[in-house]
Amino acid sequence: MPAFLRIAGGPSAGYIAIAVPWGAALVIALYRRHVRIIGFVAALISAIACALPLGAASAGQSLYHALMLLFCCLTLGATLILPRRDCTAGSIGGILFILGSTLLAYAADNLLVLLSAWILSAIPFFVPRWFQAHSWRPRAGLLLSAIALGLAIAQIVAGAHTIWIVNLKGQTPGGMAAFGLLVAAVIFRKGILPAHAWVADAAEGGPAIPTALLFNGHFGALLVAKLIVPLFAGTAVVWLPILSYLAMATALYVAVRALTENSPRRLLAFIALSQSAAILAGLESGTAEGITGALVHWYVVTVSTVGLFGILRLLEVRFGQNLSVSTHLGLAGHAPRLAVSFAVLGLALVGLPGTLSFCSQDLLIHGTLQSHPLTGLLLPIATAMNAVSVFRLFTRLFLGKRRTGFTAVADALPRERWILAVGLVFVVLGGLFPDVIVARRAVEAELVERAIATKVVPKPMPPLTVK
Amino acid sequence: MSFSQVILVAVVFAPGAVFALLSLPWLLGWVPGERGISVITGGTYSLCALGLSGLLWKLAASGSTAVVVTFGNWFAVQDYRFPLVLMADRLSLPFLAMTVVLSGLIGQFSSTYLHREPGFFRFFVLLHLFAFGSLLAFAAGSFDLLAGGWEIVGITSVLLIGFFQLRPAPVENGLRVFAVYRATDIGLLVGIFAMHHWTGTAMFTSGLPLLVGKQALIVCLLLLLAASGKAAQVPFSGWLPRAMEGPTPSSAIFYGAISIHAGAYLLLRIQPLLAHSALASAVVILIGVATAIHGTIVGRVSADAKTSLAYASLTQVGVMFVEIGIGWTSVAVVHILGHAMVRTMQFLRAPSMLHDDHQMHSAIGGETAPAETQFEDLLPEGLGLWLYRWAFDRGHLDTILDRWLVQPLLDVSRLLGRLDHVGSPRYRTRSTRGAVSVTGAAQQGGD
């Protein structure tokens, strides 16, 4: 059994989880019928295969297994929520291809496999018949990130003469050049300033749901957690804060940018980008609270963003492609359950109490303020602006004078209703019982914190005056 | 758990349970009738009131001053804990009682007032969620949990401002109020962080976190920012008249009774910290005085009953801030309770104001004699006119905020948009494209 697909709990589970989606994509390409069913079954098998090792993994090693399971569930949901006109062989096949590639990236403990997965996951967005966007900027962003990562890995392998990540931990392989290239790869892939524009272009010019899946692979954060921090622990202490500042600046920049955006897709992309930049800021805060908050927020952003893009696509299919938030559309009268789902998922993305993001935002803010007292203020400010943008998007799409002229039933179909309900239950139950997720991520966060040994030394307290 | 603790938990979570009970079936396709909703609402708050009475009696009989219920930590990471603890003490019990009684009354009033209103179900769902948020905020034993209830109160109030969603004005006003809430709540979040950072805790079941000197000043000012936003104090008063777009029962309970006093409650809770910081107390008093003056002047030019009542509320809340700043906490609590009851009654009677007026005139046999001298008559004419224009524009607060804060921010946003569009000319028109395409686009979205 090739060692590079080792997964705790059994290698065969890893094989199945990654190979089944690719196999199913091939079947769909050849058979071209019952594509939704095939896609659903393939994603379900992957999810089960990812869940099996999860139970056996120790508390400090379950992060990637959990993320793999999360992505499988997202893909499962995507196959159900995809509107009929989008449910083509190409779309479902592409989604399954992305699933397999993303799982490969999460599972890889080998530099070459990681690079391959990085490139494979972006391929559908270069193929015109697949998910290529109208704009050149998404392709440029993805290409530059792949080139940067490839050069970094070449530098590392040339210096360390090994491709196994476990053998490279703490070695600072390839020096500052490799570190810089890895950071560049993160910046381009994640859409950090100044490489942020491609995300909105991809959301608007490409298919909504597959783009949301690409974005929610969070490959940038994955690279930080999998490579940068473990391999460059010493360098990270000094230089990661720069990436942290860039991430916080990105969160604020796109939050401000979103305030006057009238395209729903671009607006949603900016909000998602701002919240996902917070993940990066938390990972780089160097505090257990910040890292835990980032890991928990990863779940929230992923589920909420895919759900929101899914609902937006459902609205476009029902009510027309050219939705704009420059005026009130009054769609709640036609689709009340979609409206409520949108409201809850949207507010869950920005810290609604009772949802998982309330806990993650709380931890993120504490962690980033602790390590960066001044710049950390940017995070709650950005989150507040994102909340306003989410609310503006909701009110413009769903409230206002009810439009007439629709005779078909426009609210959520049963399969859409169920999958949206699952998403809502996840964010709400996760908010009511957050310790189930927080406790596990906290253990991993402490390992990361110890790895970079950046336990924050409290600034000298001002002398207390006793009256 | 003791009897008192069980009662406290039941009272706080009952409205939340009703919210879940009503909203989950709706998601699955079943909508309860008006009668069922009214019965559930009435029964819930009657039982809550009964439970609180029992709790009060038990506390009085045992001589205890507080009931504390600890559920452990909601979540914890290393030394950071988010405690789940409820507390009913001499400060929070009156507020809990006020919330339960007024929520029940509003529920009963609304059963008739909103009969056959399309949003009847939506109103009651939000009412229960609001009541849960308020009870959680008032019964919280830590500032972390208080913040959760605080946010829920904010969200529900905004959704009810936009209740009449078919008109754009209520929806836009709701958005504006939401923006003010979120901006000022940053003070609450950062203030709570500061407490954790300096003292390691934000719980107050055994007294407030020990903060003195600059630490107390910073925390007080941050929490004052949040309290001022929620209580519509100067310079954030502009959102209050916008909030009158909502239905009268929600205006009564939010801006006559509970939501608008939440800011004062927060200040009462940190009053021992305020006492440690003369500067913070002075700022509280200054804000209160400015708001009271602002409210009374602007209220005199208001042309509709609800706005007039809103500014009357604002004036009284300003006076409460002054009382708290001085340290007259008992006076402030009594003031809050009395004001909440009277103002709620006035708001609920506002739709009948004309009818009341006609009845009164019929009873006395004619019009009432106008007052001989108004306060405005004592002013020079020029000053009076200037003051009238100032009051009519509501102290220019919204204009100032828009010109110096909102518009510059939006201008920066638009500039960033132009920068982003460099290299992608195709999207310049798409982002500014107009309304939805409705012509024959109603295709079914699935199988």
Residue range A286-307: mean pLDDT, rounded: 91
Report residue A175's pLDDT band, with 50, 70 and 90 as the boundaries.
Answer: confident
Measured between beta carbons, which residues in chain B are less than 8 angstroms from residue A465? 212-213
Q: Which residues of A touch B167 (CB under 8 A)?
A: 401
Q: How many Cβ atoms from other residues are within 10 Å of residue A385's Cβ?
A: 26
| CA dist list (Å): B99 to B9, B57, B133 | 15, 18, 10
C-alpha–C-alpha distance, residues A73 and A67, integer Å: 10
Which of A137, A285, A324 is most worth mutating to test chain B (most B CB atoms within 10 A of its CB)?
A: A324
Q: Do B417 and A392 touch (CB under 8 A)?
A: no
Q: What is the DSSP letter of B142?
A: B
Q: Are A347 and A387 in contact (CB under 8 A)?
A: yes
Using alpha carbons only, how large is chain B's radius of gyration in Å?
24
- How far is B412 from B420, CA to CA, in rounded Å? 12
Are B325 and B260 spatial neighbours (Cβ–Cβ below 8 Å)?
Answer: no
The answer to whether the peptide bond before residue B235 is cis (omega within 30 degrees of 0) is yes
Q: Do A410 and B155 touch (CB under 8 A)?
A: no
H/E stretch holding B181? helix B168-199
- In this structure, the number of other CB atoms found within 10 A of the CB of residue B425 comes to 8
Angle (nearest 5°) at CA B193 between B206 and B183: 120
pLDDT at A3: 46
Each residue of B379-427: pLDDT tens digit?
A: 888 888 899 999 999 999 999 999 999 999 999 999 999 988 876 655 4
What H or E segment, with its residue span, contains residue A54? helix A35-56
Q: Judge: B193–A137 Cβ closer than 8 Å, yes or no.
A: no
How far apart are the C-alpha atoms of A339 and A14, rounded to whole Å? 38
Dump pLDDT digits (tens) for A10-39.
567 888 889 999 999 999 999 888 999 999
Chain A residues lying within 8 Å of B438, measured CB to CB: 319-320, 403, 405-406
- Give the chain A residue whose CA is nearest to the CA of B177: A388
Which residue from B179, B198, B443 is facing A317, i.e. has the nearest CB? B443
A371 and A259 Cβ atoms separated by less than 8 Å: no
- What mean pLDDT is predicted for residues A404-417? 75
Determine the residue of chain B that is closest to A422 in CA distance.
B27
> What is the pLDDT, as a whole number, of residue A447?
72
Going by C-beta distance under 8 Å and a sequence separation of 6 or more, which residues neighbour residue A215?
Answer: A191, A199, A202, A203, A269, A272, A273, A276, A305
| Weakest mean pLDDT among A384-393, A436-445, B114-123, B365-374 | B365-374
Q: What is the pLDDT of residues B3-16, one digit of tens each?
A: 899 999 999 999 99
**Integer Cα distance of B237 and A102 in angstroms:** 50
Q: Which two tokens stand for residue A360?
A: 């993650």
For residue B426, what pLDDT is reported?
53
Scanning every residue of chain A, which has its alpha carbon at the shortest distance from the alpha carbon of B75?
Answer: A435
- Quick one: CA torsion of A345, A348, A354, A357, rounded to 10 degrees? 140
User: How much is the pLDDT for A12?
Assistant: 78
CA distances from residue B204 to A467, B210, B223, B305 in whole angstroms, order as listed = 21, 10, 15, 40
pLDDT band with cut points at 50, 70 and 90 for residue B208: confident
- Chain B neighbors of A359, CB-CB under 8 A: 74-75, 82
Residue A2 pLDDT greater than 60, yes or no? no
Contact A318 B74 (CB under 8 A): no
- Global confidence as pTM: 0.90
Q: What is the mean pLDDT of residues B314-330?
A: 96
Closest in B74, B155, B430 to A434, CB measured: B74
Size (chain A), residues: 467
CB contact at 8 A, A170 and A115: no
Residues B265-290: tens digit of each pLDDT: 999 999 999 998 999 999 999 999 99
Which of B78, B120, B436 to probe by mutation at the A interface, max A CB count within 10 Å?
B436
- Between the two ends of chain B, the Cα-to-Cα distance in Å is 52
Among the partner-chain residues A83, A354, A424, the one whose CB lies closest to the CB of B445 is A83
* Distance linking the first and last C-alpha atoms of chain A: 72
Cβ-based neighbour number of residue A358 at 10 Å: 25
B254 DSSP 8-state letter: I
Measuring CA to CA, which residue among A253, A3, A230 is closest to residue A110?
A3
Q: What's at A342, amino acid-wise?
A: F
Distance, in Å, from the CA atom of A449 to the CA atom of A290, rounded to the nearest integer, reads 10
Residue-level pLDDT at A308: 96
In whole angstroms, give the CA distance from residue A385 to residue A277: 14
Q: How confident is the model at residue B252 (pLDDT cuts 50, 70, 90)?
A: very high
Q: What is the pLDDT of residue A217?
A: 87
- A366, B435: Cβ pair inside 8 Å? no
A332 CB neighbours in chain B (<8 A) are: 165
**Would you call B166 and A381 a contact, using CB atoms and an 8 Å cutoff?**
no
Q: What percent of chain B has pLDDT over 90?
A: 68
Confidence of residue A59 (pLDDT cuts 50, 70, 90): low
Which of B165, B426, B437 lies closest to A399 in CB terms? B165
What token pair was written down for A122?
């972006």
B281 CB neighbours in chain A (<8 A) are: none
Share of residues in chain A with pLDDT > 90 (%): 50
Using a CB-CB cut-off of 8 Å, the residues of chain A touching B175 are 388, 391-392, 395
Q: Choosing among B75, B121, B184, B225, which should be mutated to test the A contact, i.e. which has the most A CBs within 10 A?
A: B75
Q: Chain A closest CA to B64's CA: distance in Å?
A: 31
Task: State the Cα angle at A89 between A339 and A210, rounded to 5°.
Answer: 45
Identify the H or E element spanning A381: helix A378-398
Q: What tokens does A168 get?
A: 């490279």
Residue bearing the bigger pLDDT, A284 or B444: A284
**Closest CB to A261 among B172, B431, B439:** B431
DSSP assignment of A265-280: HHHHHHHHHHHHHHHH
Suggest the residue from B71, B73, B77 to mutate for an interface test with chain A (most A CBs closer than 10 A): B77
- The whole-chain average pLDDT of chain B stands at 89
Fill in the amino acid letter for A20: V
Which of A388, A433, A456 would you mutate first to test chain B, the one with the most B CBs within 10 A? A388
Taking an 8 Å cut-off on Cβ atoms, the answer to whether A401 and B430 are in contact is: no
- Between A239 and A105, whose confidence is greater? A105
Distance from CA of A424 to the nearest CA of B (A): 11
The answer to whether A430 touches A299, Cβ cutoff 8 Å, is yes
Of B406, B438, B408, B433, residue with least CA distance to A262: B433
How many whole angstroms separate alpha carbon B296 and alpha carbon B312? 7
pLDDT band at residue A60 under the 50/70/90 scheme: low
- Say if residue A333's pLDDT is above 90: no
Judging contacts by C-beta atoms under 8 Å, the chain A residues touching residue B213 are 462, 464-465
Token pair, residue A280, equals: 């990066």
Give me A330's structure tokens. Answer: 């009054």
Q: Tell me how close the Cα of A118 comes to any Cα of chain B, in angstroms.
A: 26
Residues contacting residue B185 through CB under 8 Å, at least 6 positions apart? A384, B147, B150, B151, B154, B226, B229
Tell me whether residues A318 and B213 touch, CB distance under 8 A: no
B69 three-class SS: strand
Q: pLDDT band at residue B348, thresholds of 50, 70 and 90? A: very high
A90 C-beta neighbours (distance < 10 Å), count: 20
pLDDT at B437: 32
Greatest mean pLDDT among A406-410, A454-458, B255-259, B439-443: B255-259
A345, B132, B338 from B269: Cα distances, Å: 33, 19, 19
* CB atoms A327 and B435 under 8 Å: yes
Show the CA angle centred on residue A97, arms to residues A92 and A99, nearest 5°: 95
Residue B446: per-residue pLDDT: 34
Could B80 and A366 be called an inter-chain contact, meaning their C-beta atoms sit closer than 8 Å?
yes
Residue type, A451: A
Q: Which of A318, A324, A388 sits opposite B434 (nearest CB)?
A: A324
List the one residue out of B107, B147, B148 whose CA is nearest residue B127. Answer: B107
Whole-number pLDDT of residue B170: 93
Give the pLDDT confidence score for residue B378 in this predicted structure: 81
Q: Token match 């799409």: residue?
A: A397
- Pairing type for strands B67-77 and B80-88 reads antiparallel
Do the Cβ atoms of A19 and A97 come closer than 8 Å? no
Q: What span, in angstroms and rounded, lies between the C-alpha atoms of A145 and A132?
A: 17
pLDDT at A453 over 70: no
Helices A89-107 & A35-56 angle (0-180, nearest 10): 10
- Mutant choice from A82, A87, A196, A260 vs B, greatest count of B C-beta within 10 A: A260
Q: Are B186 and A350 a contacting pair, CB within 8 Å?
A: no
Asked whether the beta carbons of residue B437 and residue A137 sit closer than 8 angstroms, the reply is: no
Set of chain B residues whose Cβ sits within 8 Å of the Cβ of A85: 443, 445
Q: Compute φ and ψ for B256, nearest 5 degrees.
A: -105, -30
Contact assignment for B446 to A409 by CB distance below 8 Å: no
Task: Give the residue-averaged pLDDT of A59-82.
Answer: 87
Helices marked H in A320-355? 336-349
Closest CA to B239 of B313, B152, B300: B313
**What are the pLDDT digits (tens) for A248-276?**
999 999 999 999 999 999 999 999 999 99
